[in-house]
């Protein structure tokens, strides 16, 4: 298997993590800011790779050690990369939608990575805007929508279920510009 | 940008900040725009006295928000949102893109 080096890209590292977990019969879904990096060709650069996995943390620690990652708090760090890997507590959720079924797959170096679709990633980013007024995340949602087809009706229906129509309208107004 | 409409720069900045982030406190606003806390406080209190803003305490910090009972809340918010979209990109990045989503304690920025 390929080793983690300074040249390992975010996508390659994600594939290595998924492959290694797979060797140990564990699944993981790629979520969070790294999706924005992937969907926007690095317009936003996240140095974290967040995976949601139902596997026990002790098993994850053992598998990640085989890749050379050491647990530091909740992060996994590696001496040869600035990327960190984290396994936030699941299940996969976007607001009150729990659990969420990831709708996208990306193949890197022959490894299939399960991840949120662009529409789901937009909803995930918008959730941070809705809840915390985080305008960085509003921008990120818009950047994803600029680069990929997004089911705006579905986003709107979800935002209404979350009772965030007012903020949805800010997103829609900027999307229309 | 439209300080004539709001009376002065600091009042406009306070309103933009509060609409942008949903809320604001004196020191946070003062730090962001590099004005004295006293200047920010005076404008926030003026806007509160005029019924535009309301405030409440979180811990020992007074937090200001747009008054939800303000009859023109939707229109005022829409106006401020519009102004936010007209700002130079550098100003948007500098003043209105502070991270607000959670970051676990101890996690590197």
pLDDT over 70 percentage in chain A: 99
Between helices B26-33 and B9-21, what is the axis angle to 10°?
110
Contacts of A165 in chain B (CB under 8 A): none
User: pLDDT at position B66, please?
Assistant: 95
3-state class of A107 per DSSP? strand
pLDDT band at A125 (very low <50, low <70, confident <90, very high): very high
A146/A99 same-domain check: no
**What pLDDT was estimated at residue A1?**
65
**Chain A: closest CA distance from residue B91 (Å):** 14
> How large is the ipTM?
0.78
Task: Please give the Cα distance from A4 to A16 (Å, whole number).
Answer: 8
CATH label of the domain that carries residue B31: 1.10.10.10
Determine how β-strand A111-115 pairs with β-strand A29-31: parallel
| Number of domains present in the structure of chain B | 1
Range of the domain at A126: 118-176
- Region for B9 from its dihedrals, namely left if φ exceeds 0, alpha if ψ lies in -120 to 50, beta otherwise: alpha
Residue position matching structure tokens 């600091």: B10
The distance of B53 to chain A (nearest Cα, Å) reads 17
Beta-strand pair A70-72/A75-78: antiparallel
pLDDT grade for A110, boundaries at 50, 70 and 90: very high
Please give the average per-residue pLDDT across A112-138, as a whole number.
96
pLDDT at position B102 is 87
Report residue A129 as tokens: 């805007």
User: What are the tokens at A163?
Assistant: 């009772």
User: What confidence score (pLDDT) does residue B106 get?
Assistant: 75
- Spatial CA neighbour of A156 closest among A140, A167, A144: A167
Number of Cβ within a 10 Å radius of residue A42: 12
Best of B65, B100, B105, B106 to disrupt the A interface (most A CBs within 10 Å) is B100
Q: How far apart are CA A91 and CA A28, in angstroms?
A: 11
Contact yes or no for B21 and A133 at CB 8 A: yes
Please give the average per-residue pLDDT across A146-171, as a whole number: 96
In chain A, which residues have their Cβ closer than 8 Å to the Cβ of B97? 135-136, 139
Q: CATH number for the domain including A101?
A: 3.30.460.40
Q: Which of B77, B97, B107 is closest, CB to CB, to A135?
A: B97
Residue A2 lies in a domain: no
Look at residue A177 in the predicted model and tell me its pLDDT.
83
Q: Quote the mean pLDDT of chain A.
A: 95
Query: A101 and A14, same structural domain?
Result: yes
Reported as a single tens digit per residue, the pLDDT across B28-55 is 999 999 999 999 999 999 999 999 999 9
pLDDT in tens, A35-60: 999 999 999 989 999 999 999 999 99
Q: Which of B81, B100, B104 sits opposite A133 (nearest CB)?
A: B100
- Cα(A122)–Cα(A130) distance, integer angstroms: 12
- Per CB distance under 8 Å, which residues of B are interface residues toward A? 20-23, 77, 81, 85, 96-97, 99-102, 104, 106-108
A164 CB-near residues (< 8 Å, 6+ apart)? A126, A130
**Residue pLDDT, tens place only, B2-26:** 889 999 999 999 999 999 999 999 9
Give the total number of structural domains in chain A: 2
Please report residues of B whose CB lies closer than 8 A to that of A75.
Answer: 107
- In eight-state DSSP terms, residue A25 is T
Predicted pLDDT at A142: 97
Domain of B29 in residue numbering reads as: 3-96
Residue A136 to residue B104, Cβ atoms within 8 A: no
Residue range A82-91, pLDDT digits in tens: 999 999 988 9
Task: Please name every residue paired with B25 in a beta bridge, in sequence order, or none if there are none.
Answer: B63
d(C-alpha B53, C-alpha B25), whole Å: 12
pLDDT at B109: 62
pTM of this prediction exceeds 0.80: yes
Which 3 state secondary structure label does DSSP give A113? Answer: strand
Do you find a cis peptide bond into A99, omega within 30 degrees of 0?
yes
A20 and A54 together in one domain: yes
CA pseudo-torsion sign A33, A80, A108, A74: negative
| CA A17/CA B58 separation, integer angstroms | 42
- CA B51 to chain centroid, in Å, comes to 15
Both A78 and A164 in a single domain? no
Tokens of A73: 């708090």
Residue B107, pLDDT above cutoff 80: no
In a domain, B106, yes or no: no
């Amino acid at each position: 298997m390929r080793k983690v080096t300074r040249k390992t890209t975010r996508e390659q590292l994600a594939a290595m993590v998924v492959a290694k977990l797979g060797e140990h019969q564990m699944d993981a879904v790629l979520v969070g800011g790294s999706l924005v990096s992937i969907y926007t060709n690095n317009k936003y650069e996240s140095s974290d790779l967040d995976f949601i996995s139902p596997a026990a943390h002790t098993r994850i620690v053992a598998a990640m050690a085989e890749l050379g990652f050491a647990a530091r708090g909740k992060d996994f760090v590696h001496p040869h990369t600035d990327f960190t890997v984290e396994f936030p507590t699941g299940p996969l959720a976007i607001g009150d939608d729990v659990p969420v079924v990831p709708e996208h797959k990306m193949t890197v170096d022959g490894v299939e990575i399960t991840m949120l679709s662009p529409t789901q990633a937009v909803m995930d980013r918008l959730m941070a805007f809705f809840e915390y007024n985080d305008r960085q995340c509003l921008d990120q949602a818009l950047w994803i929508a600029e680069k990929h087809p997004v089911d705006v009706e579905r986003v709107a229906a979800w935002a209404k279920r979350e009772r965030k129509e007012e903020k949805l309208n800010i997103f829609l107004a900027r999307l229309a510009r | 940008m439209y300080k004539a409409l709001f009376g002065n720069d600091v009042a406009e900045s306070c309103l933009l900040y509060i609409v942008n982030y949903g809320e604001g406190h004196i020191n946070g606003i003062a730090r962001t725009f590099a004005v004295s806390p006293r200047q920010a406080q005076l404008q926030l209190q003026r806007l509160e006295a005029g019924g535009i803003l309301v405030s409440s305490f979180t811990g020992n910090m007074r937090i200001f928000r747009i008054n939800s009972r303000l009859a023109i809340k939707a229109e005022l918010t829409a106006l401020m949102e519009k102004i936010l979209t007209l700002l130079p990109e550098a100003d948007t990045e500098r003043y209105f893109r502070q991270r607000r989503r959670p970051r676990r304690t101890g996690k590197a920025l």
